[in-house]
Amino acid sequence: MTSEHNHISGERIKYQYWSRNLPHLYDVNKPIFITYRMKYDLPKNVMDDYARQVDEYNKELDTLDTKEREEKKRNKDAKFFTWFDELLAKAPDVPNLLQRDDIREVIAESFHYFDKQRYKLLAYSIMPNHIHVLILSKTQENGDIYPIQHIIYTWKKYTALAINRLIGKTGNFWQKESYDRLVRDDSELANVVNYILMNPVKAGLVQQWQEWKGNYLSQDLI
For 171-213, write each residue's pLDDT tens digit: 999 998 888 888 989 999 999 999 999 999 999 999 999 999 9
Per-residue pLDDT tens digits for 87-144: 777 777 788 899 999 999 999 999 999 999 999 999 999 999 999 999 999 988 888 8
> Whole-model pTM?
0.79
DSSP, residue by residue, 73-121:
HHTHHHHHHHHHHHHHHH-SSS--GGGSHHHHHHHHHHHHHTBTTTEEE
d(CA 219, CA 15): 25
Q: Over the chain, what is the mean pLDDT?
A: 84
Band of pLDDT at residue 28, cut at 50, 70 and 90: low
